[in-house]
Amino acid sequence: MAPSGSSAVPLAVLVLLLWGAPWTHGRRSNVRVITDENWRELLEGDWMIEFYAPWCPACQNLQPEWESFAEWGEDLEVNVAKVDVTEQPGLSGRFIITALPTIYHCKDGEFRRYQGPRTKKDFINFISDKEWKSIEPVSSWFGPGSVLMSSMSALFQLSMWIRACHNYFIEDLGLPVWGSYTVFALATLFSGLLLGLCMIFVADCLCPSKRRRPQPYPYPSKQLLSESAQPLKKVEEEQEADEEDVSEEEAERKEGTNKDFPQNAIRQRSLGPSLATDKS
């Protein structure tokens, strides 16, 4: 018995739905998901990356346009990707995401922030007309692969881990809020002490303190000998100066006596005959 026309229509609709399900799933796969594990793929090739959050209304309005733009990715030779900041806090800190949604363009490791209109047509023109060349790339200091941004990523991950621990203490263990804060305060105190000890140990190993060696008594240092010899030299110089002064004075006296000696002799000679006559 052949099936009636009324039963053939629902069967055809069912076949179309089953055939359309994988096609719809394939459309959604055009947008690649970036995580902390595979984010280094962004450093090669041409990329457009959207940072979003599921609870953000602006992000929800952008999703249809972003999905439509991803369909042109193969023709434009650009990879279209997205990052859920609620699931990937490390990437949120690595790219300094302060507003949602945030869109970045990456070309061979150079990142530029897209700030134009958010429609499929504008995204296509941005790539096809190479409008990204007119935007200044992010400095290498603030690039996602720099040491600074890696530290920011670790800090964001640490904050999310602390939040998860706080929720675990309160919800699962039943601790009061002040009890959870006390645990974190003690952990911070002990970790600071441990870090300080490690830093002191490393500093002592790299730059050991110089200890003064005791000098033997019979062998004083050259510096002490030179310092002690300076007053003696001064005394000797003063004595020599005094001796020179005395010798000069004696020389002057001798010269004076030598000058007076001939005059006295002349006087004695002149007085000699007169004395003789007086005696006679």
**Does the annotation count 207 as an active-site position?**
no
Measure the CA–CA gap between 250 and 258, rounded to whole angstroms.
Answer: 12
**Does the annotation count 56 as an active-site position?**
yes
User: Is 274 buried (19+), middle (13-18) or exposed (0-12) by CB count in 10 A?
Assistant: exposed
Angstrom distances, CA of residue 104 to CA of 41, 101, 114, 115, 250: 14, 10, 5, 9, 103
Are residues 80 and 126 in contact, defined by beta-carbon separation less than 8 angstroms?
no
Residues linked to residue 49 through DSSP beta bridges, in sequence order: 81, 104
Residue with tokens 């006087």: 267
Helix (H, G, I), strand (E, B) or coil at 49: strand
- Any alpha helices (H) in 174-221, and if so which ranges? 177-206
DSSP string covering 101-146? SEEEEEETTEEEEE-S--SHHHHHHHHHTTGGGGSPPPPGGGSTTS
DSSP run (H or E) holding 239: helix 222-279
Give residues with Cβ within 8 angstroms of 146, minimum separation 6.
140
**How many other C-beta atoms lie within 10 A of the C-beta of residue 150?**
14
Residues classed as catalytic: 56, 59
